[in-house]
Amino acid sequence: MSQSPTNPLRSYFDWQVTTIMLAHDLHEAIQDPEAAEVRRQQVEREVSAFTLAIVPEEFKQELQHDWPPELMRQITQETLRRAAAIAESC
């Protein structure tokens, strides 16, 4: 998923990252801003990787296409599965 500011999926990506970050905070909250930024960058890479693994090539090539509800559902389910796995590891 492209992360440019003009990408309409940016707010969705931000939700994914925030969800995973909150799950990590259940396990180990970080107070240090620099350490929190490092974690955020790691989570952003992880979210990008698992999202792109789900997205069919046709949508990767043509980012202006609307992503169908089924694709968004799969991505949402994977995000929630990942957050649950992190939260359960506490």
Query: For the segment 14-60, what is each residue's pLDDT rounded down to a tens digit?
Result: 999 999 999 999 989 999 999 999 999 999 999 999 999 999 998 88
Task: Give the model's confidence band at 79: pLDDT under 50 very low, under 70 low, under 90 confident, else very high.
Answer: very high
Question: What residue numbers bound the domain in which 67 lies?
Answer: 10-88
The single-letter DSSP state of residue 2 is -
Asked if residue 2 is part of any domain, the answer here is no
Residue 2 has pLDDT above 60, yes or no: no
Q: Tokens representing 20?
A: 């995973």
Asked if residue 15 is part of any domain, the answer here is yes
Asked if residue 37 is part of any domain, the answer here is yes
Q: How many CB atoms lie within 10 A of CB 25?
A: 14
* The predicted structure's pLDDT at residue 6: 64
Asked if residue 1 is part of any domain, the answer here is no
Number of separate domains in the chain: 1
Asked if residue 64 is part of any domain, the answer here is yes
d(CA 60, CA 13): 15
